[in-house]
């Protein structure tokens, strides 16, 4: 079944992809958020030329084909763009089969436990503690995450003393609630270990990105020194890095982001690597775009799924661009859980009003060539060389 048409609909922050096959079946996917206008350009230059005209039913093979073709561009933007194709093709596969994606990958519809994920560092410890207490009570969350340190802070706090103040404030406000923290690569090894011991003393169970995310040796030093689960992986896009991270036990819980990494297919590969080492997977899903729905389907299928889904509690004041993306209310919270429905594909529809406002671009089979290098390498691939 050939893929005949690929469309993007984008703003600066969000880029949706619509894929159409020769039988007329469509699928919706999304590239990773932020600088989505740039990612859309990458999509049409470096993803679409290799995908159009190809069999869209073997998603793993098509992703691998594009990775070979674009081997000189292994980094973030290629993977962010690839995620749009991959997730659209999984949605298409589910629509064609009349089944949710979760069922296609060994899972089933049903509930997913979530944790209330705060993205804020601009709130005082007291305000954040009261906010999380209220939200957990109102929506039934049994777990919540808050922020410590400063993002990429090099041991500087958001303001002096905030980390030491917010840990006891939030944990005291949430008795019986599992608590998690995210340091966003904010600390040196020594500072991370000292903060980690404070977290342990206050019953926090999850310590995310305590040191610069790319330094696996430093991350392992922190993990080895502490009993708390040290977690990471959201920024990584290289399967070789994930393999080293997992095999060296640099983290206790691996956290790929489905859209940063390049889609569901690559995330399933990471999950299998983690399963082989007995390691759980708790993906990063920090906004209410398609990444959260894809992650819900993933968690319903993984034998080594982590304890919960990340669910952002931030609204229009923090993420104005994530408003009104979808028809209906696909992310309704019920007693701290969200549900994967039995609807085909992702079970989600993009709001037509949002699409009407977005910039639209089309690549079609036979209507674009991708440049001289693409034409040459197409010939190499087709010859099997």
What pTM value is reported for the model? Answer: 0.94
Q: What is the 3-state secondary structure (H, E, C) of the chain?
A: CEEEEEEEEECCCCEEEEEEECCCCEEEEECCCCCHHHHHHHHHHHHHHHHCCCECCCHHHHHHHHHHHCCCCCCHHHHHHHHHHHHHHHHHHHHHHCCEHHHHCCCCCEEEEEEEECCCCCCCHHHHHHHHHHHHHHHCCCEEEEECCCCCCCCCCCCCCHHHHHHHHHHHHCCCCEEEEECCCCCCHHHHHHHHHHHHHCCCCEEECCCCCCCHHHHHHHHHHCCCEEEECCCCCCHHHHHHHHHCCCCCEECCEHHHHCCHHHHHHHHHHHHHCCCCECCECCCCCHHHHHHHHHHCCCCCECCCEEEECCCCCCCHHHCCCECCCCCCCECCEEEECCCCECCCCECHHHHHHCEEEEEECCCCCCCHHHHHHHHHHHCCC
The verdict on 7 and 128 lying in the same domain is no
Q: Report if residue 346 sits inside a domain.
A: no
The verdict on 296 and 360 lying in the same domain is no
Specify the number of domains making up the chain: 2
The verdict on 287 and 148 lying in the same domain is yes
Q: Residue 378: which CATH number?
A: 3.30.390.10
The verdict on 252 and 127 lying in the same domain is yes
The verdict on 89 and 111 lying in the same domain is no
Q: Residue 264: which CATH number?
A: 3.20.20.120
The verdict on 114 and 84 lying in the same domain is no
- The boundaries of the domain holding residue 201 are 102-340
The verdict on 115 and 55 lying in the same domain is no
The verdict on 83 and 208 lying in the same domain is no
Q: What is the mean pLDDT of the chain?
A: 95
pLDDT tens string 202-226: 999 999 999 999 999 999 999 999 9
The verdict on 313 and 359 lying in the same domain is no
pLDDT tens string 293-343: 999 999 999 999 999 999 999 999 999 999 999 999 999 999 999 999 999
The yes-or-no verdict on residue 369 having pLDDT over 80 is no
Q: Report if residue 106 sits inside a domain.
A: yes
């Amino acid at each position: 079944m050939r893929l005949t048409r690929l469309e993007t609909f984008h703003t600066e922050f969000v880029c949706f992809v619509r894929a159409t096959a020769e039988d007329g079946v469509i699928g919706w996917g999304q590239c990773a958020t932020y600088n989505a206008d740039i990612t859309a350009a990458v999509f049409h230059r470096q993803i679409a030329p290799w995908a159009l005209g190809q069999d869209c039913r073997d998603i793993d093979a098509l992703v691998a084909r594009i990775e070979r073709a674009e081997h000189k561009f292994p980094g973030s933007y290629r993977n962010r763009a690839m995620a749009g194709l991959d997730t659209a093709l999984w949605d298409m596969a589910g629509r064609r089969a009349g089944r949710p994606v979760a069922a296609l990958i060994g899972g089933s519809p049903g509930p997913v436990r979530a944790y209330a994920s705060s993205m804020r560092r601009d709130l005082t410890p007291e305000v954040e503690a009261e906010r999380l207490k209220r939200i957990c009570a109102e929506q039934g969350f049994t777990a919540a995450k808050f922020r410590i340190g400063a993002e990429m802070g090099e041991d500087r706090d958001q303001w002096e003393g905030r980390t030491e103040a917010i840990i006891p404030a939030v944990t005291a406000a949430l008795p019986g609630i599992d608590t998690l923290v995210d340091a966003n690569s904010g600390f040196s090894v020594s500072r991370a270990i000292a903060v980690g011991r404070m977290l342990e003393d206050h019953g926090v169970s999850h310590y995310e990105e305590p040191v610069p995310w790319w330094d696996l040796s430093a991350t392992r030093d922190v993990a080895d020194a502490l009993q708390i689960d040290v977690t990471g992986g959201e920024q990584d896009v290289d399967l070789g890095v994930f393999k080293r991270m997992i095999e060296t036990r640099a983290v206790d819980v691996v956290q790929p982001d489905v859209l940063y990494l390049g889609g569901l297919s690559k995330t399933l590969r990471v999950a299998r690597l983690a399963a082989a080492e007995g390691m759980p997977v708790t993906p990063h899903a920090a906004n209410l775009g398609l990444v959260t729905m894809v992650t819900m389907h993933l968690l319903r299928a993984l034998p080594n799924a982590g304890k919960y889904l990340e669910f952002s509690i931030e609204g229009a004041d923090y993420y104005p661009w994530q408003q009104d993306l979808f028809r209906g209310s696909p992310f309704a919270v019920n007693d701290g859980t969200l549900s994967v429905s039995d609807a085909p594909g992702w079970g989600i529809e993009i709001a037509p009003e949002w699409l009407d406002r977005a910039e639209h671009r089309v690549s079609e089979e036979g209507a674009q060539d991708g440049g001289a290098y693409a034409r040459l390498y197409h010939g190499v691939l087709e010859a099997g060389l």
